[in-house]
Amino acid sequence: MDRNFQLAKNNILLKGEINIAEQTLYEKAGGGESIEKVVDYFYEELVLKDPTVNQFFEHTDMVKQKRHQSKFISYALGGPNQYSGNSMAKAHQGMNLQPEHFDVIARHLHDALAHFGVSERDIDEALTRVAALRDDILYK
């Protein structure tokens, strides 16, 4: 095989590998439309059916909530920063969320992402980012 061709081939393969590695979680999850589907499933099939946490959403405009959550999760996964809602502390003020509530929501997010084929490795990375917000959400 021609040495120049082999070098070019290796360079293309290397660039392809770099592009895959540089892909954000947002892109790996399929982008905005996919995130909206994950969020819809997250609420409709998991959160709102779970008596541990569904009471927190009894008087919530779920259309607005899903829109905010889609933007927030998109940003948290490395997508565009379109989230313009309250800070996490302010958004959860007066709710007195406890660790078990946070853990249930995190588990539901895991399950929603898994339902749509996101890898465990990528889910772990996403949940690590969400876990960084724990102190801003609990006991408010």
pLDDT tens digits, residue range 43-82? 999 999 999 999 999 999 999 999 999 998 898 888 887 7
> Which amino acid appears at position 75 of this protein?
Y
Annotated binding residues for heme, written as ranges, equal: 68, 92
Q: Are 35 and 78 in contact (CB under 8 A)?
A: no
Average pLDDT, integer, range 118-136: 93
Q: Name all domains of the chain by residue range, CATH numbers in brackets.
A: 26-137 (1.10.490.10)
Residues in binding site: 68, 92
pTM: 0.81
